[in-house]
Chains A and B, each alone.
Chain A
Amino acid sequence: MEEDIKPDRKINIKGLVCPYTFVKAKLAVEDMEIGQVIEILLDYEEASRSIPKSMEDHGQKVLKVEKINDTDWVLVIRKEKE
């Protein structure tokens, strides 16, 4: 089912490392409405684990974490909380 979710917003943070990966992701989520979904493309492996963890700590819902090729990950997150 979750494969069908269409993101309301997409950001590409390839090339960034921590903590700027999370800074960019968090600011993007802040600008969204509750219930909206963001797709995040990144290539920093640690952030593929730390962003989902931090997003959940902040009360957001992680819908998908997927390694899509040798270098890149896609995260899909739904905003649940301001």
Chain B
Amino acid sequence: MDFTEDQLQRYSRHIILPEVGGKGQRKLLGAKVFIVGAGGLGCPVGYYLTAAGVGTLGIIDNDSVELSNLQRQIAHSTKTIGMYKIDSAKATFEALNPDVRVIGIKERISKDNILDLIRDYDIVVDGSDNFPTRYLVNDACVMAKKPLVSGAILKFEGHVTTIVPGEGHCYRCLFEEMPPPGLVPSCQEAGVIGAIPGVVGSLQAIEVIKLILGKGDPLKNTLLIYDALKTTFRRIKVLKNPNCPVCGDNPTIRELLDYDAGYCAVQ
């Protein structure tokens, strides 16, 4: 594939990097990334992957834009309040870079649709805001052997980890079971500084780009914790658990569970 003159200009700061070059940029243009959630994390992840020229972005989200989202969800705007988030985000991303095909899916992700949804994608990004979805996405990615870049935010803190099934840990190696409902405050209860998802989402976007390029060291077997108040990044070593219920040697979770139901029952 030859670059157009517009593409040479748009991607020039990539192409001149030894780790990218024309070859790396072609990989980015050919890559397909699936983003769970068009919220605090999905917005910056999608924004930077669009700017980077990642050729196909699938984004799933079931919500509409609300005024309270705009403190952090940068792909949406005052003018798109009331629109579905996927439509608002798609319009923003397509305006930024017409090279990118944005596929918006207005559904709730579930055990019944996730494996079909992610099948045609190379990498999955979790930008969800709740534990049932986080565990669903982890288990599905392990089963489908899809690399997963997971992010989480709360208050002044953010977490990022990269799961490459078969090569490193998975989310259940780190936290085997979902925390009981009520123990962990949601964003709505606890608040978050709007720039935190910007930091975490940008880190996730870079992890995705590294995986596509095959360069650098992704956060395999590592949990990165960003503390904005202290301005520290801590790297926590995470070992793959041979007894992990989903990615261990003798997994007990062999098909996707009813994550929401279990979660609500405990509640």
Chain A residues in the interface with B (C-beta under 8 A): 19-20, 22-24, 26-27, 30, 54, 57-58
Contact = CB atoms under 8 A, between A and B. Distances in A.
A64 to B, nearest CB: 22
B15 A27 contact: yes
A40 B82 CA distance: 55
Given A19-B13, A23-B16, A27-B3, 15 more contacts: A19-B12, A19-B16, A20-B12, A22-B16, A23-B12, A23-B15, A24-B8, A26-B21, A26-B22, A27-B21, A27-B22, A30-B22, A30-B23, A54-B16, A58-B18
Nearest to B3: A27
Given A20-B9, A23-B8, A30 B21 contact: yes
SS class, residues of chain B in contact with chain A? helix
A20 B12 CA distance: 7
A5 B149 CA distance: 49
A27 B21 CA distance: 7
A57 B22 CA distance: 17
A82 B12 CA distance: 19
Contacts of B18: 57-58
Nearest to B18: A58
Contacts of A26: 15-16, 21-22
B234 to A, nearest CB: 33
